Amino acid sequence: MSHIGKGIVFIGDGMGGRPLPELDGKTTIEAQDTPALDALARGGECGLMDPISPGQAAGSDTAHMAILGYDPFKYYRGRGPFEARGVGIDVRPGDVAFRCNFATVDGRKVLDRRAGRIESGTDELAAAISEGVSHIGEVQCIFAPSVAHRAALVLRGEGLSHEITPVDPHESGVDYWDAKPLPDAEDPEAAQTTADLVNEFVRRSHEILENHPVNQARREAGKLPANIVLPRGVGTAVHLQPIEERYGLHSAMIVEVDLVRGLGHYLKMDVIRVPEATGGYDTDEIAMATAVAAALEDHDFVLANIKAPDVGGHDGDYQMKMEAIGKVDRAIGYLLDHVDFAATTILLTADHSTPCAVGDHSGDPVPVVFHGMGVRPDDVQSYGERPCAKGSIERIRGMDVMPLITSYIGAGKKFGA
Ligand code: ZN
Ligand code: ZN
């Protein structure tokens, strides 16, 4: 039995991009000075990756599912279950889960969908909701607060569906919506039942919160009351085989986004918190890299994600995106100095492209480089969309990542005799 190595998947969130005229036709990765990423490329195998499939713009949740080997077309039923798991609710297959906002309404009109960016008191408000509306009929309602104005709701019972519209209108100054069955729902009856339950939950949340002492105190202090819960981002929980069971690799996740962290919990990975990882431009990439190196001591596989490049892409700010890519480069530089790549394989890539000119995720493939144990280096000399397109990996999909990583580190299983 040969020795099994360790694997790292390191993701610069949304790092892929398109050529920009402001950068003389270079992408932000190509224009940024990235000595460590280039060193990875010089010693590694490069290529392009369609996170899900060619041309398919990916969410961070579906892209991470695919990269970890769980086909999103088969298993993805909305983000709600990951959100709910991320805030500590024990989501079970069949549950319908939502992310929610505490908001301020006057009648049906949403005055502020973040309740004045409420920072404290939501624990008490959530407790009042849990007590006041623990069930609607036979269906159990499980509600938990998250950070600031955010929360999650899980409906547990028979005959529920995720095929409904949201209640949160995603803007202030307009009426909130009634949940309705999607017009093409597979099970219209279950969708109607679920929509009715959600509308009843929302109505009761308003009843419970309107005159709650926390809100009376907020009004007296001149603050907006958090007097309703508005659900959105619905999803049905499905069974996903835990990652350790699937690959035989004891696995950890070090990421900055709650949604991806929720997926990690869902797959029963060790989700490691790094307090200095802010999820913004000011994140401490060395603290994250240090945590990755430390996690490798007692794990076989670590997935890490630095969020900042995606923020730059959404902001349409190529300078900030380049600086964020510089952070990814410094994190990789740290790993090159502190990890034994004779016994470890790393994949450095993005979970999707977030081109500055688009301001959102696009269907463009992302550059990949595998480096370390088991890797046969090609002739690519630098990391970027165009250089990697000439690499020996050619073009893969997110679903190909785990078979490749497990193969490089000797943890793959033979097919046939
Ligand atoms: Zn992403
Ligand atoms: Zn994004």
Is residue 321, in this structure, part of any structural domain at all?
Answer: yes
φ and ψ at 44, to 5 degrees?
-130, -175
φ and ψ at 46, to 5 degrees?
-115, 165
Report the Cα 416 to chain-centroid distance in Å: 36
In this structure, are 261 and 330 located in the same domain?
Answer: yes
Q: 14 C-alpha to center of ligand 1: Å?
A: 5
Which ligand has an atom closest to residue 60 CA? 1
Q: 51 C-alpha to center of ligand 2: Å?
A: 14
Q: 259 C-alpha to center of ligand 2: Å?
A: 11
Which of 272, 275, 278, 256 lies closest to 351, judged by CA? 256
Q: 361 C-alpha to center of ligand 1: Å?
A: 8
pTM (whole model) above 0.85? yes
Q: 309 C-alpha to center of ligand 1: Å?
A: 9
Q: 2 C-alpha to center of ligand 2: Å?
A: 40
- 388: Cβ contacts below 8 Å, ≥ 6 apart: 41, 46, 47, 48, 367, 368, 369, 380
Q: 229 C-alpha to center of ligand 2: Å?
A: 25
Mean pLDDT of the 320-343 span: 98
Cα-Cα-Cα-Cα torsion 69, 74, 78, 84, nearest 10 degrees, comes to -50
Residue pair 213/220 in contact by the 8 Å Cβ criterion: no
Is residue 144, in this structure, part of any structural domain at all?
Answer: yes
Mean pLDDT of the 10-15 span: 98
Last residue of a domain, one of 234, 256, 285: 234
In this structure, are 312 and 217 located in the same domain?
Answer: no
In this structure, are 281 and 160 located in the same domain?
Answer: no
Domains of the chain: total: 2
Q: 262 C-alpha to center of ligand 1: Å?
A: 14
Which ligand has an atom closest to residue 314 CA? 2
State yes or no: pLDDT of 245 exceeds 90.
yes
Which ligand has an atom closest to residue 305 CA? 1
Last residue of a domain, one of 193, 215, 234: 234
Residue 375 maps to which CATH number? 3.40.720.10
In this structure, are 60 and 183 located in the same domain?
Answer: no
Task: Write out the H or E segment, with its range, that includes residue 135.
Answer: strand 135-136
State yes or no: pLDDT of 54 exceeds 60.
yes
State yes or no: pLDDT of 1 exceeds 80.
no
> For residues 256 and 100, what is the distance between their CA atoms, to the nearest angstrom?
19
Is residue 123, in this structure, part of any structural domain at all?
Answer: yes
Last residue of a domain, one of 204, 234, 264: 234
Is residue 413, in this structure, part of any structural domain at all?
Answer: no
Residue pair 101/150 in contact by the 8 Å Cβ criterion: yes
Which ligand has an atom closest to residue 256 CA? 1
From the number of C-beta atoms within 10 Å of its C-beta (0-12, 13-18, 19+), residue 117 rates as exposed
Q: 325 C-alpha to center of ligand 1: Å?
A: 14
Is residue 416, in this structure, part of any structural domain at all?
Answer: no
Which ligand has an atom closest to residue 260 CA? 1
Q: What is the pLDDT of residues 352-384, one digit of tens each?
A: 999 999 999 999 999 999 999 999 999 999 999
In this structure, are 181 and 246 located in the same domain?
Answer: no
Which of 379, 395, 398, 376 lies closest to 387, judged by CA? 379
β 366-372/6-12 pair status: unpaired
Structural domain that includes position 223: 82-234
pLDDT of residue 395: 98
Tokens of 410: 């000797």
Tokens of 370: 């595998």
Q: 210 C-alpha to center of ligand 1: Å?
A: 37
Q: What is the pLDDT of residues 266-288, one digit of tens each?
A: 999 999 999 999 999 999 999 99
In this structure, are 94 and 71 located in the same domain?
Answer: no
Which of 410, 406, 98, 67 lies closest to 267, judged by CA? 67
Q: Quick check: helix, strand or coil at residue 53? A: coil
Is residue 414, in this structure, part of any structural domain at all?
Answer: no
Is residue 162, in this structure, part of any structural domain at all?
Answer: yes
In this structure, are 248 and 395 located in the same domain?
Answer: yes
Residue pair 304/8 in contact by the 8 Å Cβ criterion: yes
Q: 231 C-alpha to center of ligand 1: Å?
A: 22
Which ligand has an atom closest to residue 307 CA? 1
Banded pLDDT at 417 (limits 50, 70, 90): confident
> For residues 60 and 350, what is the distance between their CA atoms, to the nearest angstrom?
10
In this structure, are 288 and 151 located in the same domain?
Answer: no
pLDDT of residue 87: 87
State yes or no: pLDDT of 3 exceeds 80.
no
In this structure, are 273 and 204 located in the same domain?
Answer: no
Mean pLDDT of the 131-149 span: 95
Is residue 415, in this structure, part of any structural domain at all?
Answer: no
Q: 14 C-alpha to center of ligand 2: Å?
A: 6
In this structure, are 228 and 242 located in the same domain?
Answer: no
> For residues 409 and 386, what is the distance between their CA atoms, to the nearest angstrom?
27
In this structure, are 311 and 347 located in the same domain?
Answer: yes
- Mean pLDDT across the chain, nearest whole number? 96
Which ligand has an atom closest to residue 15 CA? 1
State yes or no: pLDDT of 258 exceeds 90.
no
State yes or no: pLDDT of 2 exceeds 70.
no
> For residues 73 and 63, what is the distance between their CA atoms, to the nearest angstrom?
11
In this structure, are 266 and 376 located in the same domain?
Answer: yes
State yes or no: pLDDT of 147 exceeds 90.
no
DSSP 230-271: EEEEEEE------HHHHHS--EEEE-S-HHHHHHHHHTT-EE
